[in-house]
Structure 1
Amino acid sequence: MKTYIPKNDEQNWVVVDAAGVPLGRLATVIASRIRGKHRPDFTPNMIQGDFVVVINAASVVLKGGKLDGKVYTRYSGYQGGLKTETAREALAKHPERVIEHAVYGMLPKGRQGRAMHSRLKVYAGETHPHSAQKPEKLEVQHG
């Protein structure tokens, strides 16, 4: 008996509207879609997922005290170079990065995770330049 190896020839595009959806719920749906866990022939060592386009990233919802309690940090490499900003500041400046950061944390680490991360396209507004790919609309349950 031969081992079944799925083909990776199917590349779907999906558009997700982030308006009014909690960040964690949105990120879990996107991460599982990018990994390909929605497919019946899911194989963990292959990239089989869809390309995901997220629109309205500026109107994503953070529940509880997370707008002021959640802190994003980065280090410049210099002494005293630790920069911090709250989720409220990050959403005001660059809302795309908030969703990208949440999804990236749910993807596998390493070469394959970085390749999966390149399948995520996030836009702050309603419009996106991927209409030529004819993306399907994916509904995310509101909390």
Structure 2
Amino acid sequence: MKTFVPKNDEQNWIVVDATDIPLGRLATVVASRIRGKHRPDFTPNMIQGDFVIVVNASKIAFTGGKLDGKVYTRYSGYQGGLKKLTARESMAKHPDRVIEHAVFGMLPKGRQGRDMHNRLKVYAGERHPHVAQNPQPLAITNTARTKAAQSNNEVK
């Protein structure tokens, strides 16, 4: 019996609108699509995922106190060179980097994860230059808010 090895010939492009979607919920769905875990022939040692375009990164939602409580740190290499930015400050400067950081943390570490990271395209506004690839829209439902809205409607 021969070993089945899936082919990596399917290159889909997906566009996701990040308006009012919590950062973690968006990042898990996007990382799963980039890895290819939605496919029935998923193989962990191959890159089989889709290219994902995230638009409206500046309109993403932060739940709880994460907008001021979440801190991004980096070290400059000098003494006392620890730089800290809150999520609010980071969203004001580069809203696309917040989503890239969240998704990159959910991808495998190493060469394959870095190659997968190249399949993510994030834009702060609605426009993106990948119209020629004919991206298909992917709707991410915010189940927490829809459940809350349904329970409010049932009470009335």
Shift of 1:93: 0.7
Which TM-score applies when normalising by structure 2? 0.91
Superposition pairs for residues 106-117 of structure 1, below 5 Å? 106-117=106-117
Quote the residue 2:154 is aligned against: none
Listed as ranges, the gaps of 5+ residues in structure 1 are none
Q: Are residues 1:59 and 2:59 paired?
A: yes
Over the matched positions of the two proteins, sequence identity in percent amounts to 77
**The structure with more helix, counted as a fraction of residues:** 2
Quote the residue 2:90 is aligned against: 90
Quote the residue 1:11 is aligned against: 11
Quote the residue 2:50 is aligned against: 50
Listed as ranges, the gaps of 5+ residues in structure 2 are 145-156
Q: Secondary structure at the match of 2:11?
A: coil
1:61-108, Cα deviation, whole Å (9 max, x unpaired): 010000000000000111111100000000111000000000000000
1:35-84, Cα deviation, whole Å (9 max, x unpaired): 00000000000000000000000000010000000000000111111100
Which TM-score applies when normalising by structure 1? 0.99
Quote the residue 1:123 is aligned against: 123
- Taking the aligned partners of 1:6 and 1:78, their CA distance within structure 2 comes to 48
- Taking the aligned partners of 1:9 and 1:106, their CA distance within structure 2 comes to 24
AA of the residue aligned to 2:57: A
Q: Are residues 1:20 and 2:58 paired?
A: no
Bigger relative contact order, structure 1 or 2 (CA pairs below 8 A, ≥6 apart): 1
- Taking the aligned partners of 2:78 and 2:51, their CA distance within structure 1 comes to 37
Give the 4+ runs in structure 1 shifted more than 4 A: none
- Taking the aligned partners of 2:41 and 2:28, their CA distance within structure 1 comes to 20
Q: Secondary structure at the match of 2:102?
A: helix
Shift of 1:141: 1.2
Quote the residue 1:31 is aligned against: 31
- Higher gyration radius (CA): 2
AA of the residue aligned to 2:116: M
- Taking the aligned partners of 1:82 and 1:22, their CA distance within structure 2 comes to 28
- Taking the aligned partners of 1:137 and 1:34, their CA distance within structure 2 comes to 15
For these two proteins, the number of residue pairs brought into alignment is: 143
Q: Secondary structure at the match of 1:85?
A: strand
